[in-house]
Structure 1
Amino acid sequence: MRKDLPAVLLVDPVRNGAGYKAAARDLGFAVASVYTLGFSTDIPGHDEDDDFSLHLSDPYDVVRQVVQLGLDIRAVVPAMEAGIHRADQIARLLGLPGNDPSLAWARRNKAAMRTRAREAGLSIPEFRLVHTLEEIRAAAHDIGFPVISKPTMGSCSQGVTVLSDAAALDALTVLETHDMYQQPITEWLVEQYVRGREFSVNFFSSHGEHRIIDMWEYRQPDERDYDFPIWDNVQIDDSHPDYRRVESYVRQVLDAFGIVHGPSHTEVKCTPEGVYLMEIGSRLPGGPAVHMWAQYSKVRAYRDALTCYLGDRPTIMDEPLEFRARYGAMAIRNEKAPGTLVAIHGIEALKGHPGIGDILVGYQPGDHIRVTRQQDDIPFGATVSGADEEEVVRTMGLIRSLVSLEIVPDLPAKPPVTSARENETP
């Protein structure tokens, strides 16, 4: 235990935890971590490299424990999406830099997010907050098809369902009961489905000033409505026809949601009529973005984010980011039926091809594999880099031409067998 050093407090550091802990030590700080959910403490080794570990969820309890321990906390860092709203409340109670705590819930709960966006005059889809399957059906008919249903506290597309027509709504008979953080799902957002291009936008903010880091487009294989966006995700630049208006809209979102310190990840959809908010998160992006920044630019996400939360200005706010390549990430999805994975063919053929980075294999032969509806269900993925966007897209196409899934579909459930006597009419 290092009470002789000032410390940073990491809130739920189980996904980006190792990066933040290393950055804190590099800057000369002890590491105090607070785990607010059972999801966090269930992960083996979750508290590895902590100098102090707290297992509390109420911000006031966290602050009381910090004071009792005599910790000299200099920054509070939201290290996972589930703890974002608590981190900002803790920072305010400790008198440390953070984002507006009065808007913390709106940055986490999708229904509160829509309400805040509407109050701020931002364009958003028409929506309803519902609590049952029957209310989902009523809201869908009220708004008009197509709609999309999503848990208000969900993540990684879990439980998200696009309902393009009445037949799709009739087929929705079961709802997810718990989110990926093992918390009960008690409410859903039903909103108008926006048919348009989808983008994710990553910023860093320091004292209310915003610096765009990069923008990605979520590209799909065809024009069908979708509820899981990861297929070909490609970094774009300001030559893209939608780049400037998306960037301008996201800057308005950051101001409207009180984001003044640290990284943010915003997802929007873009149509000829306007740009629409899908989600705002005051956190680092998931997926491969942070790793690819470290490979191909001057951005050191964990150190730069921690610098922001310390109330200092990171150099990336002012200096050129110096991207040395364009990049992207792609997924091969199981889009047919659940079944047993026999093999992922073609992985060996990828070796030695320039521009192919990390290979991500989510299942092994013999595993049961679901239809890909959320991030944890991706069977195969890869990161890609190249001199320009065209090269990145060509490499993704090459991977798709070489890699395929062999799956034995599940057998349909057999109807119950009854005897002739049971079928007789009395």
Structure 2
Amino acid sequence: MTRDAFVLVESNTTGTGRLFPVAARGLGLHPVLLAADPSRYASVGGAEVVPADTDSVEAVVAACRRIGAERRVAGVATSSDYYVETAAAAATALGLPANAPADLAAVRDKGVQRRRLAEGGVRVPRFVVADTVEQVLAAAEEIGYPVVVKPVTGSGSLGVQLCADPARAARHAEAVLARGHNERGRPVPRRVTVEEFVAGPEYSAEILNGVVVGITAKHLGAPPLFVETGHDFPAGLPPAERTAVATAATDAVRVLGLGLGPVHVELRVGRDGPVLIEANPRLAGGWIPRLVQEATGVDLILKTVEAFSGRSSTVDATHSRGAAIRFVMAEGDGVLRGIDGVAEASAVAGVIDVETYREPGAEITVAGDFRDRIGHVLARGASAAEAAQAAEAGVRRVRPVLTAREEALA
């Protein structure tokens, strides 16, 4: 019997993207990856790879119809932030489950998303959308320094910076506004949001089909950047605060029309309560789905494939414990000679996974975003605090060894 196909429009090139085909096969589906450039992917998780123009909804629909000539297409989705609109538009054209493409387009533009949230009664930072340096400086003066300046599209902390004064705001805005394409070569709007900085701890709510599965505590590197250096699940919040964070997140999902599948909602808890930073219509990155699974037994990737293939998808935890991850961060530029201490980190009680992302000889350039992660240590414990202690002990043992580029070339 021919298995139904589950079509992925591109994928994350790091993290959990390669696990989607595994989940599809676990549900008896045949995973197919549509890719404009299949050579981008070191691993596709065993998916059948079909070249296609993934920037074109029409081309994606045509590819799905060709696949459908041999096996029924049960769903179309993506693990990549950049292709959620395309996947949803293709699914809609094929009569398959999807969120409304217009709602996804609004969510993908952080300025439009903010306006929708504010109009819907969800608390967000004060913000202004700007497309010139002069507008950025005027907005920052109105809001009050420090301000956060970031592009209206993108993920992984790319181009996000805390600006303490006009000089820094002007330099950063000029650099972001000059970028016409993202790291995949796709055109991006030359606009930024200038927003109030909300002081306080940062969390993310992991949502599936409108229901909060859990809340993650996020660890960030030093300002002025917002690089996520680790996560703990579940966050150790007092009950009232947890309820407030969950309520703000579900209100945001309702206002934005994201009732199907996963949403990763980022918030900060300021002195007056939760403030919605942004909602992303996809699973979290940074291996958070793995943390959720280790802590609760809930496989969010499997549940996402169920949701977008039209299957009933309920979330039932099978156990209650904690999980944490700490990333090995590049702290300088150079050529990677190796990463020492992996065996020592693996031997720490509670550590269940140590992974390195870069091979010896790789060129390392600190970018100030998620690309500075060159490995991770993941731990599990009776509580998130216990898991965090193990992950921190493990990551302290991991030591990247770099050589200056000039020395490497000598």
Q: TM-score, normalised by structure 1?
A: 0.81
CA RMSD, 1 decimal: 3.2
- The alignment status of 1:350 with 2:345, answered yes or no, reads yes
Q: Give matches, 1:129-144, under 5 Å.
A: 129-144=129-144
**CA distance in structure 2 between the partners assigned to 1:122 and 1:39 by the alignment:** 39
Q: Give matches, 1:43-122, under 5 Å.
A: 43=41, 49-50=47-48, 52-67=50-65, 70-71=68-69, 72-122=72-122
Unaligned runs of 5+ in 1: 412-426
Say which SS state the counterpart of residue 228 (structure 2) adopts: coil
Return closer, same or farther for 1:55/1:244 CA change in 2, 3 Å cut-off: same
Q: Which residue does the alignment assign to 1:203?
A: 207
Amino acid across the alignment from 2:379: V
**CA distance in structure 2 between the partners assigned to 1:294 and 1:152 by the alignment:** 31
Deviation string 1:330-389 (CA, Å, 9 cap, x unpaired) is 135456x64566775644432421112322435566655444611111245321221123
Deviation string 1:231-286 (CA, Å, 9 cap, x unpaired) is 34211357536211100110101111111221221111111213222221221211
Q: Which residue does the alignment assign to 1:233?
A: 231
**CA distance in structure 2 between the partners assigned to 1:407 and 1:53 by the alignment:** 37
CA contact 1:232–1:396 (8 Å) conserved in 2? no
**CA distance in structure 1 between the partners assigned to 2:166 and 2:55 by the alignment:** 41
Q: Which residue does the alignment assign to 2:5?
A: 7
**CA distance in structure 2 between the partners assigned to 1:169 and 1:387 by the alignment:** 44
Say which SS state the counterpart of residue 106 (structure 1) adopts: helix
Return closer, same or farther for 1:17/1:198 CA change in 2, 3 Å cut-off: closer
Deviation string 1:74-132 (CA, Å, 9 cap, x unpaired) is 22222211111122222222222211333111221212211221221211112222234
- The alignment status of 1:382 with 2:377, answered yes or no, reads yes
Which of 319, 326, 338 is 2:322 aligned to? 326
Query: How far apart are residue 163 of structure 1 and its match?
Result: 0.3
Residues 164-173 or 241-250, more deviating: 164-173
Say which SS state the counterpart of residue 231 (structure 1) adopts: strand
CA contact 1:203–1:213 (8 Å) conserved in 2? yes
**CA distance in structure 2 between the partners assigned to 1:47 and 1:380 by the alignment:** 20
**CA distance in structure 2 between the partners assigned to 1:220 and 1:363 by the alignment:** 21
Q: Which residue does the alignment assign to 1:194?
A: 198
**CA distance in structure 1 between the partners assigned to 2:39 and 2:110 by the alignment:** 25
Q: Which residue does the alignment assign to 1:361?
A: 356
**CA distance in structure 2 between the partners assigned to 1:362 and 1:74 by the alignment:** 33
**CA distance in structure 2 between the partners assigned to 1:364 and 1:17 by the alignment:** 20
- The alignment status of 1:393 with 2:388, answered yes or no, reads yes
Query: How far apart are residue 51 of structure 1 and its match?
Result: 6.8
Unaligned runs of 5+ in 2: none
- The alignment status of 1:181 with 2:184, answered yes or no, reads yes
Q: Which residue does the alignment assign to 1:312?
A: 311
**CA distance in structure 2 between the partners assigned to 1:377 and 1:43 by the alignment:** 19
CA contact 1:5–1:30 (8 Å) conserved in 2? yes
Q: Which residue does the alignment assign to 1:415?
A: none
Structure in which a larger fraction of residues adopt helix:
2
Q: TM-score, normalised by structure 2?
A: 0.84
What percent of counterpart residues are identical?
23
Amino acid across the alignment from 2:368: R
**CA distance in structure 2 between the partners assigned to 1:297 and 1:393 by the alignment:** 16
Residues 179-188 or 258-267, more deviating: 179-188
Return closer, same or farther for 1:288/1:334 CA change in 2, 3 Å cut-off: same
**CA distance in structure 1 between the partners assigned to 2:43 and 2:328 by the alignment:** 30
Point out the structure with max Rg over C-alpha: 1
Q: Give matches, 1:208-219, under 5 Å.
A: 210-219=210-219
Q: Which residue does the alignment assign to 2:148?
A: 148
**CA distance in structure 1 between the partners assigned to 2:237 and 2:191 by the alignment:** 40
CA contact 2:7–2:64 (8 Å) conserved in 1? no
Amino acid across the alignment from 1:298: G
Q: Which residue does the alignment assign to 2:297?
A: 298
Say which SS state the counterpart of residue 136 (structure 1) adopts: helix
Return closer, same or farther for 1:110/1:399 CA change in 2, 3 Å cut-off: same
Q: Which residue does the alignment assign to 1:123?
A: 123
Say which SS state the counterpart of residue 24 (structure 2) adopts: helix
Return closer, same or farther for 1:391/1:59 CA change in 2, 3 Å cut-off: same
CA contact 1:155–1:180 (8 Å) conserved in 2? no
**CA distance in structure 2 between the partners assigned to 1:168 and 1:386 by the alignment:** 42
Say which SS state the counterpart of residue 97 (structure 1) adopts: coil
